[in-house]
């Protein structure tokens, strides 16, 4: 079994819940501080099929950075490549937790969805 790469933000309550879920399910993880090491463009592209190919689902729309930079209007006119470049450049814009594990990918924390992915 491969280790799950988990991009998280230390002060994020949703990330804490997700990490607890993974610990309770005995999933080996590699924690990555999303503020210091955001997912690369290649990792963001790897996530796209898991969000129906919609790069807009990778944005943390409730975050302060997204709102203060008026990203809603900017994202509306971005190409996929532009969006992935912006996301790779600022982890606070990425929806979290952001998890890549084996051939699966998850953004945000939904216990039901995560249960289906991490069932053994």
Whole-structure pTM value: 0.93
Looking at the DSSP assignment, which residues form a beta bridge with residue 4?
29
Total domains present in the chain: 1
Convert the pLDDT of each residue in 25-39 to its tens digit. 999 999 999 999 999
Q: Give residue 9's domain range.
A: 4-118
Convert the pLDDT of each residue in 79-105 to its tens digit. 999 999 999 999 999 999 999 998 999
Cα–Cα dist 5/28, whole Å: 9
Q: Average per-residue pLDDT in the chain?
A: 95
**Assigned token pair, 32:** 């990555």
Known catalytic residues? 12
* Per-residue model confidence (pLDDT) at position 118: 85
Unique residue bearing structure tokens 């509306």: 76
Assign residue 61 the CATH number of its domain.
Answer: 3.40.30.10
* Per-residue model confidence (pLDDT) at position 119: 77
């Amino acid at each position: 079994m491969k280790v799950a790469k988990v991009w998280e933000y230390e002060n994020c309550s949703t990330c804490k819940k997700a990490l607890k879920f993974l610990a309770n399910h005995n999933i080996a993880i590699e924690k990555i501080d999303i503020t210091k090491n955001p997912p690369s463009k290649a990792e963001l592209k790897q996530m796209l099929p898991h969000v129906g190919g919609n790069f807009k689902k990778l944005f943390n729309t409730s975050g302060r950075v997204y709102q203060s930079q008026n990203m809603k209007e900017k994202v509306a006119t971005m190409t996929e490549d532009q969006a992935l470049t912006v996301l790779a450049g600022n982890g606070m814009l990425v929806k979290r937790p952001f998890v890549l594990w084996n051939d699966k990918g998850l953004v945000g924390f939904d216990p039901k969805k995560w249960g289906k992915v991490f069932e053994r």
